[in-house]
C-alpha cells in the first residue's frame, strides 16, 4: 500500500501565520510532491467538542472559516479530500472498540493530555470524552489507513498512543491496522512561530496573531505594533536582532530577493548587520516585513474572495469529500469487525 496522508485541525478559530508556517506550508509541500495515494484533511469538529461541548456555536462558526483558510492557501480539492469528522460515524464506532485496548492510567499519563487538562482547568474533574480523545484520534488515523501524519510536535504523544493501539489490536485480533509516522516541520522557528508581542506562541487567546484572512490595514497596524528591541530607542542606537520579532519573522518569511526589492540591502544578513551597528530604524524594518507578509497574503486573500463568492462550491467540496471519507472509513470498520469476529450475518 502506498502513502496515505491524513491530518486535521480543530475548528476553534481562524488560521493564522503560525498555522501557515507550522503546518499548512508543509501540507502544500506534500500536496505538490504528490508522493501519495490519498491525502485527507479533516475538520475535527467532534474532537473540538471534547473541550467545547458547552459552546457548539463556536465550532459551527469556525468550521467554515477553516475550510476557507484551507482553500485560500492553495490546498487543492482535486488533490486533497476534505471532510468533516462528525459526519463519519464509523470513526465513533472504531473509537468504541479501541477504548478496550487502552487503560485510563495510560490516558492520564499522556503528556499532551496532561498539559491540556491544566490549561483547561479540568484538574478537578476531567470529562471522560476529553480524556479519551486520543483514542478517537487513533480511529481518525487508522480509519483511513493513514501512515503519514503531518502534525506539530505537540501531537507526537497522540501518534504514539495510536501506534500502541494498532500494535495491541494486531496482536489480539490479527494483522489488520497499520502504524503511522509523524511528518514534522524542520525549521525551529516555524515549528512554533512567536506572537507579534514576542510571546513564545502565536495564539488566539493571547491576541497576538496575524490571521490569514486579515486585511492589509490589519496587517500594517499589527506589524507596526510588533515587539522589537526595547533598548533600540534612537535610530542611531545599536539594535538587537535576537528576540526581535521583526527579524524573527523576516528569518521565516523573507527571501533575499524580497529584501533587495523592499530595502537598500542585498540580503537579510546585511540588513541585520546594519541594525546591530545602529542607524536603521524600526519603522523601516517593519515596512520591509509588511511588504513580505503582503506578498504572502495577497494571493491568499484573492483565493478567499473567490471562494467567499462561491460558497456553494465550498459546500460541494466538503460534501463530496465527506461522502468519500464515509465510504473509506466504513470499509475499515468492516475489516475491524471481521478481525474481532463480530461480523454477524456477513
Ligand atoms: N489533535 C489535532 C489538533 O489538535 C487534530 C486532529 C484530530 C488530528 N484528529 C487528527 C491531527 C488525526 C492528525 C491526525 O490539531
Find the 14 Cα to ligand 1 centroid distance in Å. Answer: 16
* Contact criterion met (CB below 8 Å) for 65 and 9: no
Flag whether pLDDT at 289 surpasses 90: yes
Q: Which residues touch 169 (CB under 8 Å, ≥6 apart)?
A: 98, 101, 176, 177, 336, 339
Enter the C-alpha cell of residue 12. Answer: 476553534
- Average pLDDT of the chain is 97
Q: Which domains does the chain have, with CATH numbers?
A: 4-192+311-340 (3.40.50.620), 216-304 (1.10.240.10)
Of residues 182, 219, 192, the one with CA closest to residue 21: 192
Cβ within 8 Å of residue 248, ≥6 positions away: 189, 194
Report yes or no: 15 and 9 within 8 Å, Cβ to Cβ: yes
**205 has pLDDT over 90:** no
Q: Residue written as cell 499522556?
A: 110
DSSP result, 236-294: TS----TT-HHHHHHHHH--HHHHHHHSS-SSHHHHHHHHHHS---HHHHHHHHHHHHH
Q: Is the CB of 149 under 6 A from ligand 1?
A: yes
Mutate to test the pocket of ligand 1, among 11, 130, 142, 155 (most ligand atoms within 8 A of CB): 155
Centroid of ligand 1 to alpha carbon of 72 (angstroms):
20
Ligand 1 pocket check for 23: Cβ under 6 Å: no
pLDDT of residue 80: 98
116-150 pLDDT, tens digit each: 999 999 989 999 999 999 999 999 999 999 999 99
Nearest 5°: phi and psi at 322? -65, -40
Asked whether 6 lines ligand 1 (CB < 6 A), one says: yes
Is the pLDDT assigned to residue 346 strictly greater than 90? no
Question: Confidence class of residue 1 from pLDDT cuts 50, 70 and 90?
Answer: confident
Taking only the tens place, the pLDDT of each residue in 64-107 is: 999 999 999 999 999 999 999 999 999 999 999 999 999 999 99
Atom number of ligand 1 nearest to Cα 150: 13
Instruction: Tell me if 275 sits within 8 A of 251, measured CB to CB.
Output: no
Q: Is 13 in the pocket of ligand 1 (CB under 6 A)?
A: no
Grid cell digits, residue 264: 537598500
Contact 193, 17 (CB under 8 A): yes
Q: What is the mean pLDDT of residues 164-172?
A: 98
pLDDT of residue 71: 98
How many C-beta atoms lie closer than 10 Å to residue 305's C-beta? 11
31 Cβ contact partners less than 8 Å away, ≥ 6 residues apart? 39, 75, 76, 79, 80
- pLDDT of 323 reads 98
Least-confidence region, from 181-185, 203-207, 329-333? 203-207
Does position 315 have pLDDT exceeding 90, yes or no?
yes
Task: Assign residue 243 a region (left: φ > 0; alpha: ψ between -120 and 50; beta: otherwise).
Answer: left
Mean per-residue pLDDT for 278-294?
A: 98
H or E stretch covering 4? strand 4-9
What separation in Å is there between the alpha carbon of 130 and the centre of ligand 1? Answer: 13
Distance CA 243, CA 233 (A): 16
| pLDDT interval class at 291 (50, 70, 90) | very high
Average the pLDDT over each of 160-164, 170-174, 200-204 and give the range with the smallest value: 200-204
| pLDDT confidence of residue 55 | 97
Amino acid at each position: 500500500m502506498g502513502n496515505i496522508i491524513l491530518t486535521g485541525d480543530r475548528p476553534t478559530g481562524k488560521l493564522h501565520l503560525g498555522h501557515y508556517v507550522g503546518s499548512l506550508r508543509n501540507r502544500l509541500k506534500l500536496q505538490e510532491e504528490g508522493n501519495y495515494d490519498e491525502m485527507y484533511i479533516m475538520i475535527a469538529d467532534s474532537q473540538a467538542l471534547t473541550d467545547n461541548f458547552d459552546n457548539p456555536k463556536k465550532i459551527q462558526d469556525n468550521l467554515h472559516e477553516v475550510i476557507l483558510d484551507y482553500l485560500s492557501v492553495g490546498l487543492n480539492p482535486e488533490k486533497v479530500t476534505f471532510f468533516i469528522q462528525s459526519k463519519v460515524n464509523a470513526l465513533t464506532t472504531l473509537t468504541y472498540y479501541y477504548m478496550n485496548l487502552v487503560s485510563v492510567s495510560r490516558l492520564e499519563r499522556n503528556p499532551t493530555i496532561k498539559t491540556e487538562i491544566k490549561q483547561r482547568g479540568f484538574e478537578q474533574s476531567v470529562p471522560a470524552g476529553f480524556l479519551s480523545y486520543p483514542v478517537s484520534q487513533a480511529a481518525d488515523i487508522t480509519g483511513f489507513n493513514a501512515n503519514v501524519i503531518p502534525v506539530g510536535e505537540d501531537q507526537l504523544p497522540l501518534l504514539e498512543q495510536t501506534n500502541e493501539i494498532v500494535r495491541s489490536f494486531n496482536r489480539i485480533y490479527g494483522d489488520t491496522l497499520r502504524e503511522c509516522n509523524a511528518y514534522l516541520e524542520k525549521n525551529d522557528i516555524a515549528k512554533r512561530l512567536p506572537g507579534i508581542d514576542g510571546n513564545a506562541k502565536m495564539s488566539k487567546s493571547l491576541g497576538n496573531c496575524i490571521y490569514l484572512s486579515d486585511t492589509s490595514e490589519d496587517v500594517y497596524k499589527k506589524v507596526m505594533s510588533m515587539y522589537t528591541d526595547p533598548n533600540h530607542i534612537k535610530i542611531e542606537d545599536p539594535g538587537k536582532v535576537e528576540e526581535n520579532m521583526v527579524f524573527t519573522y523576516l528569518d521565516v518569511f523573507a527571501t533575499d530577493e524580497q529584501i533587495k526589492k523592499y530595502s537598500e540591502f542585498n540580503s537579510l544578513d546585511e540588513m541585520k548587520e546594519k541594525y546591530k551597528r545602529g542607524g536603521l530604524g524600526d519603522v523601516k524594518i517593519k515596512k520591509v516585513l509588511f511588504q513580505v507578509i503582503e506578498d504572502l497574503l495577497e494571493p491568499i486573500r484573492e483565493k478567499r474572495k473567490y471562494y467567499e463568492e462561491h460558497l456553494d462550491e465550498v459546500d460541494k467540496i466538503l460534501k463530496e469529500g465527506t461522502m468519500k471519507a464515509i465510504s473509506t472509513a466504513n470499509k475499515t470498520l468492516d475489516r475491524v469487525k471481521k478481525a474481532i469476529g463480530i461480523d454477524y450475518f456477513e
